[in-house]
Structure 1
Amino acid sequence: MPVDERERGGAVSFLELDSFIDLPKELEDDLIEIGGRLPAWSVEGTFLARSTIERYRTELDSAPLFLDVKDRLLPQLGEAAGGYAVVRLRNIAQALGIGNQFLRLATAILTEVATPFQPFRRWPLWKEIGTNLHANPGLSTGTGYNAFHMDLVNVTQPPDYTTLLCVRPDPLGAGASILSDARAAVSRLTPSDRALLADAAYSYGSFFDLSDVGEEYKPFPVLDGEPEDLGFVRFTAKMLSESGLDEAHAHVAKELADQMVAEHVSFTLQRGDVLVVNQHRVVHGREPLGGGQRDIAPEDRRLLLQLFLCGAGTTGQAVT
């Protein structure tokens, strides 16, 4: 069953860690001022330019309380903690709107985690994930259940972090984000099951117009044998429908999916919330949107923006 971590008590676990970071009013006021003066970003190839990162960090350093937020955010994303965090910038979004000023500020904050980059060159740094009534309901832009997955599962060097900024929640109150600790789910499987998941037997998606994510990985193993800070649990529920998957490998992948569903968190992002997910540990998805989407004007339907982050030890530039 889904668990809202903010309501569950008892011993600390992935489900119960305080991953929601609220900002004190004094810091919000400082960040609103900073957001008003941040310059437009520049990119070098697909990566946010070093000069932009340095300028943004200098501005953030002028807010004395921001260090406290950074000191909470980075450990929370680490392997020893929850592997995800939600930075609540709602009041700042109310003050600045979610336009260029807000996006520069959100980008500046995320440079403290890793380097923003554009693996899809055909899309901007912040990629829109809107609501398309004609899309496959299970896709990120669809209206149905978007099952657990990691982004860019079929490349040799996926983004280390994926981030989602809520511009508009579903007006019908549905579409909650869901997250699960993929490594904990793997640990609940038998050794023989884990051995099958280490086989390069799985495939999903195409490799088209991508940059700085290595090469196409097809077929790929779910468990790559790398240390947790470097490797991934390469999983997307959509690979279960790929043709050519034999019964044994399909069965164990379904068992892993069931384990992810059995222990997961669920929460609804609000305008200005920024969700950061460590892809080395956590998979994500979405509950169905509310019925009656056709009665909502397109400009009022759920809208998220997505940004990818590349950390140290991966291709291209890295945060120092």
Structure 2
Amino acid sequence: MFIDIPNQLEAALASLPLPPWELDGSLLVKRTMERYRAELTAAPGFEETVAALRRALTGQDGGYAVLRLGNLARALGTGDRFLRLATAFAAEVAVPFSPFPKWPLWKDIGVKTAKDPGKSSGTGYNAFHMDLVNATLPPDYTTLLCVRPDPLGGGLSILSDAHAAVARLPEDTRALLAEVAYHYGTFYDLFGVGEEYKPFPVLDGSAPGRGFVRFTAKMLERSQLSQAHTDAARKLAEELVRGQISFMLQPGDYLIVNQRRFLHGREALHSGQEAVPVSDRRLLLQLFLRARAGDGVVV
């Protein structure tokens, strides 16, 4: 699931000045995606790299990929030119958009020592979850571009195959997870993700191995659930941890997660973040993607 960029492709991309993107509201417009594709398809190895990326995300045993863009990040820096290349790769998977109108297309996820430790910008363990779990139309993909890892060595990314975890649960637990009894979080000032879904089922009634597994471990502590539904969700959380994959994102690594298959999270950052200058702390950039109709995403 780790995809290296061939040397010839890296050289071609490093000298390719892509134009600025255009948005329609918070959605990347079609002409920008077409322009990026026209510029990139002539680059040697681009089509093969994109094919490998798509297979990793939607193939039978897939669900996530890490595109290794580190050499390009070092050559170009992580400013506009580099972000246009990352956006162009993302647009080969699905349609980039921002569900947060107050944010640009790419949202910063830095480290704030005063923040709730379990939040994405906190310093603690960020338990398994899907993004925008309480939306009727969550993003099909969530993506994280690493600008800087934790300089103290913490913050491993964690992933788990949600459907494999569900399959290991007993039938009575799955039945509880399929009930419309779960809720978490707030819902306001959002774009392109439908309506608030409250309450919602963790399992949406799709055939086994299909559909979203609407889960966030944070609802175990922060939502009022019945004991039976809490116990069922806790069993799922345990199975997710049992099957987890972990790795450290390096500068320029671009993680793309198919939210219909995998849930994600983060191990705690190393202690001592208060002593790290803000400009040196871990920094990720987040971008969401909406699948095109008929593009092979499992639904």
Give the aligned partner of residue 62 of structure 1.
42
The alpha carbon displacement at 1:227 in A equals 5.0
Give the aligned partner of residue 8 of structure 2.
26
Q: 2:227 aligns with which of 247, 263, 267?
A: 247
1:308 matches 2:288: yes
Identical counterparts, % of pairs: 59
Give the aligned partner of residue 166 of structure 2.
186
Q: 2:20 aligns with which of 40, 52, 58?
A: 40
Q: Distance in 2 between matches of 1:286 and 1:86?
A: 15
Q: Is the 8 A contact 1:164 1:305 kept in 2?
A: yes
Q: Distance in 1 between matches of 2:260 and 2:35?
A: 29
The alpha carbon displacement at 1:192 in A equals 1.0
Change (3 A) 1:259 1:229: closer
The alpha carbon displacement at 1:32 in A equals 0.8
Give the aligned partner of residue 135 of structure 1.
115
Paired residue secondary structure (2:127): strand
Q: 2:187 aligns with which of 190, 207, 213?
A: 207
CA offset digits 1:242-283 (Å, max 9, x no partner): 343001000010000000001110000011000000000100
The alpha carbon displacement at 1:135 in A equals 0.3
Give the aligned partner of residue 113 of structure 1.
93
The alpha carbon displacement at 1:120 in A equals 0.6
Give the aligned partner of residue 57 of structure 2.
77
TM-score, with normalisation over the residues of structure 1?
0.90
Q: Distance in 2 between matches of 1:53 and 1:68?
A: 18
Q: Is the 8 A contact 1:32 1:92 kept in 2?
A: yes
Structure 1: gaps (5+ residues): 1-18, 315-320
Counting matched residue pairs gives 295
The alpha carbon displacement at 1:81 in A equals 2.1
How well do the aligned residues superpose, as a CA RMSD in angstroms? Answer: 1.5
CA offset digits 1:153-204 (Å, max 9, x no partner): 0000000000000001000111000000000000000111111000011111
Q: Is the 8 A contact 2:184 2:223 kept in 1?
A: no
Paired residue secondary structure (2:15): helix
Structure 2: gaps (5+ residues): 295-299
Q: Distance in 2 between matches of 1:300 and 1:51?
A: 36
The alpha carbon displacement at 1:226 in A equals 2.7
Q: Is the 8 A contact 1:228 1:281 kept in 2?
A: no
TM-score, with normalisation over the residues of structure 2?
0.96
The alpha carbon displacement at 1:123 in A equals 0.6
Q: Distance in 1 between matches of 2:27 and 2:208?
A: 24
- Equivalent positions of 1:140-159 (< 5 A) are 140-159=120-139
Q: Is the 8 A contact 2:140 2:291 kept in 1?
A: yes
